[in-house]
């Protein structure tokens, strides 16, 4: 039975916004206070009427020792505010929290760094600011320098460092903080890929040592891979607490659809950029995913994409075909789906409204937003064409199931790696490995 | 608040109370940070300036020269029977400690806003760190003072010198008593920073730096003591020059003022502390 590391009950934080400016001058405050005394008849001053928003409200959850928890939500959901409250940087407006253990908060990389001081001096400065004792820093000094890979520049003022060196040094110091509870806020947004990998590796080491980790990041694959539990925040409220996969699903489902308020339905009756000689034959597109679930959010790499195309055929149509082109943000055509490629076509063409379904079992394009160009050909002549009929966004996800997110490239392909033995590729082994094609 | 129970320290986070506890013991826990912030300010100042440590000497020396010419020689301001340069320098020493401390601490919270928003530590550390940095300059200027005294043949008695640390503490307390108020106020009302240079100029003339407090008629002397630096400066004059002419009720009034302002400043600072990260 896990002991509790963090217990939160009814936590809330309110900020005043609106008519009250942040910096006021003494003169304004005094004159306001004086006028309130003067007009004692309860004239509401601007101060009283200023609006306030609850950045977080009614948060209640428990985190046990050794848990690795991902806090996810859209921008503005209250994730950073929650971390600030738990790190004691800001105080809650209501509720209370209990923390068992020493907290190390990484809310920004390189906090307190002074550009005029050398790397060596900044190690001590930053380390102390983060909460380490001077003796502790001295003991770990060599490890920190080795981790950051800046031995040669240790005695150069930090203002001469490249941004990569800066961030490596900052993270190296933070990585050697050994708190019982580690709170990390989107520090991975800074830095190149190699750095991000190093960060993630270090954070996962920390969690393997049995320390508690609270992790906020928009890198969903990292969150899903590192964390066991997830807390979803939505507009300051606690939307979900549970295992990370369910939390991630909850988060994805809550993301709004791209152009249409209903998310998965694209009404084509008013579509701009349309070329139609005969008339507006294409009426609607609907997007679905696995199990015919409406696709209201983002698609994961390799998930099923099913497109329902609603259209009308005029009378005396002999044959028709529908094409669907997927373009990336640069306007490059990545993939074309066309009904011509379907082996089991019926020859007869019905007249009137109908639905043609395009089913893509594995949509293996990499992360990004793809716009769909839709056209209807009647008797091999273009009858209706719409640019940007709909769009689908694919999110970074762990396609290969090994915790690593595919990056670069336009699409992903299933592949295996194995060592050759004795200079031969044993046929039996090869067949055995590749026979189960869709299993990993 | 944090207590140690079992194998983990437990921290309870609750909304700020109207009159939060002072928690001065926490400052001891964070002494490494206090020292390091002061060290950072000193190091950075000396790295960035061409004159570096010489600045700590130049300020009092140049001021003394100018005052000696215009107040001492030309205006013939009486200096209690001492040579004017010595008279002025002895007062400039604590005055510049006070004015530097006050000036730096008033803006300290705002200039360290990135720390306030990203790390937890008792916020009192920030203005206190400016005190440590000021003491370094004070130390350097003090050595010059000793040289000055000996060159004029004035040897302070050991007994009165023994009071010097107390007086230094008095000066620092005076600076902090105002500094805490100003630093907390400055976070919310930025005009504090702009009025400060003006305030310091006026204040210097209200303090017996260029003149002796014997200039003030006896019956007003106690009221004069409401200026905490009046007591500090006369105390320094007594300890280093043996001049007891300025002493009297004003020293006690000054001490009382400092005590009240300091206590009030600590309470006000702690009350406003919970809003710093949100407002700065």
Per the structure block, which two tokens stand in for B119?
A: 């790390």
Give residue B266's pLDDT: 92
pLDDT category, A296, cuts 50, 70, 90? confident
Please determine, for residue B2, whether its predicted confidence score (pLDDT) is greater than 70.
no
**CB-based contact A121 B43, cutoff 8 Å:** yes
One domain, residues A136 and A229: yes
Are B118 and B155 within 8 A, CB to CB?
A: no
**CB-based contact A92 B15, cutoff 8 Å:** yes
- Mean of per-residue pLDDT scores for chain B: 86
Provide, as residue numbers in chain A, all residues whose Cβ is less than 8 Å from the Cβ of B121: 129
Q: Nearest CA of chain B to the CA of A425: how many Å?
A: 56
In tens, the pLDDT along A106-117 reads: 888 788 899 989
SS3 of A49, please? helix
The bridge status of strand A94-100 relative to strand B8-13 is antiparallel
CB-CB: which of B14, B16, B40 is closest to A125? B40
Query: What string of DSSP letters covers B35-86?
Result: HHHHHHHHHHHHHH-SSTTHHHHHHHHHHHHHHIIIIIIIS----TTS-HHH
**CB-based contact A23 B190, cutoff 8 Å:** yes
Residue B206 neighbours by CB under 8 Å, 6+ apart:
B227, B230
Identify the CA nearest to B236 among candidates B179, B174, B163: B163
Provide, as residue numbers in chain B, all residues whose Cβ is less than 8 Å from the Cβ of A114: 40, 44
Give residue A189's pLDDT: 63
C-alpha A116/C-alpha A375 separation (Å) is 62
**What are the Cα distances from residue B94, in Å, to A118, A277, B79, B262, B280?**
33, 91, 17, 18, 31
Of the ranges A53-67, A174-188, A217-231, which is most confident? A53-67
Which helix (H) or strand (E) segment holds residue A372: the answer is strand A368-378
Q: Nearest CA of chain B to the CA of A440: how many Å?
A: 43
In tens, the pLDDT along A70-125 reads: 998 888 888 989 999 999 888 899 999 999 988 888 888 788 899 989 999 999 99
Q: Nearest CA of chain B to the CA of A144: how many Å?
A: 19
Q: Nearest CA of chain A to the CA of B133: how many Å?
A: 16
In tens, the pLDDT along A357-409 reads: 999 999 999 888 888 999 999 888 888 999 888 888 888 888 888 877 877 77
**What are the Cα distances from residue A90, in Å, to A81, A85, B221, B275?**
8, 5, 46, 7
The CATH number assigned to the domain holding A48 equals 3.40.50.300
Angle separating helix axes B191-206 and B84-111, nearest 10 degrees: 160
Residue B278: closest C-alpha in chain A: A90
C-alpha A153/C-alpha A118 separation (Å) is 8
Report percent pLDDT > 70 for chain A. Answer: 85
In tens, the pLDDT along B70-115 reads: 988 888 888 888 888 888 999 999 999 999 999 999 889 999 988 9
The bridge status of strand A352-360 relative to strand A4-16 is unpaired
C-alpha B69/C-alpha B215 separation (Å) is 19
**Domain-ending residue, one of A377, A395, A413:** A395
| Cβ atoms within 10 Å, residue B199 | 17
C-alpha B197/C-alpha B200 separation (Å) is 5
Q: Which of B118, B187, B278 to mutate to test the interface with A (most CBs of A within 10 A)?
A: B118
C-alpha A144/C-alpha A264 separation (Å) is 50
Average pLDDT of span A53-68: 91
Which positions 20-49 of B are in contact with A (Cβ < 8 Å)?
32-33, 36, 40, 43-44, 47-48
C-alpha B41/C-alpha B126 separation (Å) is 11
**Domain-ending residue, one of A373, A395, A417:** A395
A171-180, A252-261, B177-186: least confident range:
A252-261
Identify the CA nearest to B102 among candidates B216, B221, B198: B198
Residue B185: closest C-alpha in chain A: A26
Give residue B246's pLDDT: 59
pLDDT category, A258, cuts 50, 70, 90? very low
Provide, as residue numbers in chain B, all residues whose Cβ is less than 8 Å from the Cβ of A111: 114-115, 118-119
One domain, residues A215 and A280: no
**CB-based contact B12 A96, cutoff 8 Å:** yes
| E-strand stretches of A194-344 | 212-216, 229-234, 237-243, 265-267, 274-276, 282-289, 293-294, 299-300, 305-313, 320-327, 333-338
Please give the radius of gyration of chain B, using alpha carbons only, rounded to the nearest integer: 20
B247 to chain A, any CB pair closer than 8 A? The answer is no
Q: Which of B1, B18, B21, B40 to mutate to test the interface with A (most CBs of A within 10 A)?
A: B40
In tens, the pLDDT along A409-419 reads: 788 898 888 87
Give residue A267's pLDDT: 82
CB-CB: which of B12, B32, B118 is closest to A107? B118
Query: What string of DSSP letters covers B116-137?
Result: HHH--S-TTHHHHHHHHHHHHH
pLDDT category, A255, cuts 50, 70, 90? low
Residue B125: closest C-alpha in chain A: A129
Where would I find the H helices in A4-101? 26-38, 46-49, 79-86
Are A114 and B44 within 8 A, CB to CB?
A: yes
Average pLDDT of span B197-206: 92
Provide, as residue numbers in chain B, all residues whose Cβ is less than 8 Å from the Cβ of A130: 119
Average pLDDT of span A414-436: 68
Report percent pLDDT > 90 for chain A. Answer: 27
Provide, as residue numbers in chain A, all residues whose Cβ is less than 8 Å from the Cβ of B188: 23-24
Q: Is A66 left (phi over 0), alpha (psi -120 to 50) or beta?
A: left
One domain, residues A63 and A208: yes
Phi and psi at A227, nearest 5°, equal -95, 150
Backbone CA torsion sign across A11, A127, A64, B21:
negative
Give residue A42's pLDDT: 46
Residue B44: closest C-alpha in chain A: A116
Angle separating helix axes A119-130 and A163-175, nearest 10 degrees: 40
**CB-based contact A111 B15, cutoff 8 Å:** no
Q: Which residue has the tokens 């809330």?
A: A12
Per the structure block, which two tokens stand in for A386?
A: 């719409």
What is the distance of C-alpha B140 from the center of its chain?
16
A263-267, B48-52, B227-231: least confident range:
B48-52
SS3 of A61, please? strand
Angle at B242 between CA B239 and CA B243, to 5 degrees: 110
Residues in chain B: 280
C-alpha A349/C-alpha A344 separation (Å) is 14
The bridge status of strand A352-360 relative to strand A305-313 is antiparallel
Residue A326 resides in a domain: yes
In tens, the pLDDT along A311-369 reads: 988 887 778 899 999 988 777 889 999 998 888 877 677 888 889 999 999 999 988 88
Q: What's the total number of domains in chain A?
A: 2
**CB-based contact B278 A111, cutoff 8 Å:** no
One domain, residues A102 and A31: yes
**What are the Cα distances from residue B178, in Å, to A295, A309, A408, B94, B119?**
62, 74, 59, 15, 26
The CATH number assigned to the domain holding A307 equals 2.70.50.60
Tell me the β-bridge partners of A71: A216, A231
**Domain-ending residue, one of A189, A224, A254:** A254
Provide, as residue numbers in chain A, all residues whose Cβ is less than 8 Å from the Cβ of B115: 111-112, 129
Residue A148 neighbours by CB under 8 Å, 6+ apart:
A165, A168, A169, A171, A172, A173
| Cβ atoms within 10 Å, residue A373 | 18
Provide, as residue numbers in chain A, all residues whose Cβ is less than 8 Å from the Cβ of B119: 87, 89, 105, 107, 111-112, 129-130
Are A16 and A51 within 8 A, CB to CB?
A: yes
Provide, as residue numbers in chain B, all residues whose Cβ is less than 8 Å from the Cβ of A129: 33, 36, 115, 119, 121
**CB-based contact B14 A90, cutoff 8 Å:** no
Tell me the β-bridge partners of A266: A285
Please determine, for residue B244, whether its predicted confidence score (pLDDT) is greater than 90.
no
State the Cα torsion A91-A96-A100-A103 to the nearest 10°. -20
Residue B16 burial by Cβ neighbours in a 10 Å radius (0-12, 13-18, 19+):
middle
B11 to chain A, any CB pair closer than 8 A? The answer is yes
A215-224, A259-268, B20-29: least confident range:
A259-268
Would you kindly state where each structural domain of chain B is located, as residue ranges?
22-279
**What pTM did the predictor assign?**
0.69
Provide, as residue numbers in chain A, all residues whose Cβ is less than 8 Å from the Cβ of B116: 89
One domain, residues A18 and A126: yes
C-alpha B196/C-alpha B102 separation (Å) is 9
Chain A / chain B CB contacts < 8 angstroms: 110
One domain, residues A165 and A31: yes
Please determine, for residue A40, whether its predicted confidence score (pLDDT) is greater than 60.
no
Residue B81 neighbours by CB under 8 Å, 6+ apart:
B243
What is the distance of C-alpha A188 from the center of its chain?
12
Give residue A247's pLDDT: 84
pLDDT category, B12, cuts 50, 70, 90? confident
B119 to chain A, any CB pair closer than 8 A? The answer is yes
- Mean of per-residue pLDDT scores for chain A: 82
Residue A3: closest C-alpha in chain B: B8
One domain, residues A35 and A159: yes
Q: Which residue has the tokens 């407006």?
A: A93
Residue B16: closest C-alpha in chain A: A91
Please determine, for residue A210, whether its predicted confidence score (pLDDT) is greater than 70.
yes
Please give the residue range of the domain that contains residue A90.
4-254
B13 to chain A, any CB pair closer than 8 A? The answer is yes
Give residue A368's pLDDT: 81
């Amino acid at each position: 039975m896990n002991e509790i590391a963090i217990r939160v009950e009814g936590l809330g934080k309110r900020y005043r916004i609106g008519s009250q400016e942040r910096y006021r001058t003494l003169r304004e405050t005094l004159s306001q206070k004086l006028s309130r005394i003067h007009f004692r008849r309860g004239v509401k001053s601007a101060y009283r009427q200023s609006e306030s928003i609850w950045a977080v409200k009614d948060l209640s959850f428990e985190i046990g020792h050794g848990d690795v928890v991902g806090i996810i939500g859209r921008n503005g959901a209250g994730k950073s505010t929650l971390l600030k409250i738990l790190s004691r940087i800001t105080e809650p407006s209501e509720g209370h929290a209990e923390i068992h253990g020493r907290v190390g908060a990484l809310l920004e990389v390189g906090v307190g760094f002074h550009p005029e001081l050398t790397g060596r001096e900044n190690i001590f400065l930053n380390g102390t600011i983060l909460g380490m004792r001077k003796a502790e820093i001295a003991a770990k000094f060599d490890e920190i320098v080795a981790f950051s890979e800046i031995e040669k520049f240790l005695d150069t003022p930090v203002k001469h460092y490249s941004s990569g060196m800066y961030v490596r040094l900052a993270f190296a110091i933070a990585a050697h903080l050994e708190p019982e509870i580690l709170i990390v806020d989107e520090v991975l947004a800074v830095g190149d890929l190699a750095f991000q990998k190093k960060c993630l590796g270090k954070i996962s080491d920390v969690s393997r040592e049995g320390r508690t980790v609270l992790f906020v990041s928009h890198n969903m694959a990292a969150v899903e891979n590192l964390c066991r539990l997830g807390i979803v925040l939505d507009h300051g409220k606690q939307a979900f607490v549970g295992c990370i996969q369910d939390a991630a699903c909850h988060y994805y489902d809550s993301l709004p659809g791209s152009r249409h308020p209903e998310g998965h339905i694209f009404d084509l009756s008013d579509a701009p950029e349309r070329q139609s000689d005969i008339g507006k034959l294409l009426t609607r597109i609907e997007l679905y995913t696995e199990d015919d679930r409406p696709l209201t959010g983002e698609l994961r790499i390799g998930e099923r994409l099913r497109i329902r195309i609603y259209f009308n055929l005029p009378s005396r149509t002999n044959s028709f075909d529908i094409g669907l082109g997927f373009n990336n943000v640069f306007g490059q055509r990545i993939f074309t789906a066309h009904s011509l490629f379907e082996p089991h076509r019926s020859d007869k063409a019905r007249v009137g409204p109908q639905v043609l379904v395009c089913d893509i079992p594995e949509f293996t394009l990499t992360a990004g937003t793809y716009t769909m160009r839709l056209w209807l050909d009647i008797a091999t002549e273009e009858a209706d064409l719409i640019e940007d009929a709909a769009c689908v966004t694919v999110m970074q996800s762990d396609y290969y199931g090994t915790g690593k997110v595919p990056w670069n490239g336009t699409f992903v392909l299933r592949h295996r790696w194995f060592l050759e033995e004795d200079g031969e590729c044993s046929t039996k082994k090869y067949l055995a490995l590749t026979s189960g094609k869709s299993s990993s | 608040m944090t207590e140690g129970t079992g194998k983990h320290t437990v921290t309870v986070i609750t909304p700020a109370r109207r009159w939060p506890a002072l928690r001065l013991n926490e400052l001891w826990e964070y002494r490494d940070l206090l020292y390091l912030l002061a060290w950072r300010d000193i190091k950075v100042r000396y790295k960035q300036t061409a004159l570096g440590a010489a600045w700590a000497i130049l300020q009092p020396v140049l001021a003394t020269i100018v005052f000696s010419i215009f107040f001492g020689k030309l205006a013939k301001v009486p200096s209690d029977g001492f040579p004017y340069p010595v008279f002025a320098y002895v007062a400039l020493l604590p005055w510049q400690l006070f004015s530097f401390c006050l000036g730096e601490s008033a803006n300290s919270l705002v200039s360290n806003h990135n720390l306030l928003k990203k790390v937890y530590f008792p916020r009192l550390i920030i203005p206190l760190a400016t005190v440590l940095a000021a003491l370094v300059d004070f130390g350097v200027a003090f050595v010059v003072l000793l040289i000055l005294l000996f060159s004029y043949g004035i040897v302070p008695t050991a007994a009165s010198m023994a009071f010097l640390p107390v007086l230094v503490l008095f000066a620092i307390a005076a600076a902090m008593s105002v500094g805490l108020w100003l630093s907390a106020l400055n976070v919310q009302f930025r005009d504090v920073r702009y009025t400060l240079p003006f305030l310091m100029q006026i204040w210097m003339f209200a303090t017996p730096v260029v003149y002796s407090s014997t200039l003030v008629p006896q019956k007003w002397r106690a009221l004069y003591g409401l200026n905490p630096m009046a007591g500090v400066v006369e105390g320094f004059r007594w300890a280093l020059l043996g001049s007891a002419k300025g002493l009297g009720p004003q020293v006690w009034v000054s001490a009382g003022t400092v005590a009240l302002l300091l206590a009030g400043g600590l309470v006000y600072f702690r009350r406003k502390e919970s809003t710093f990260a949100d407002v700065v």
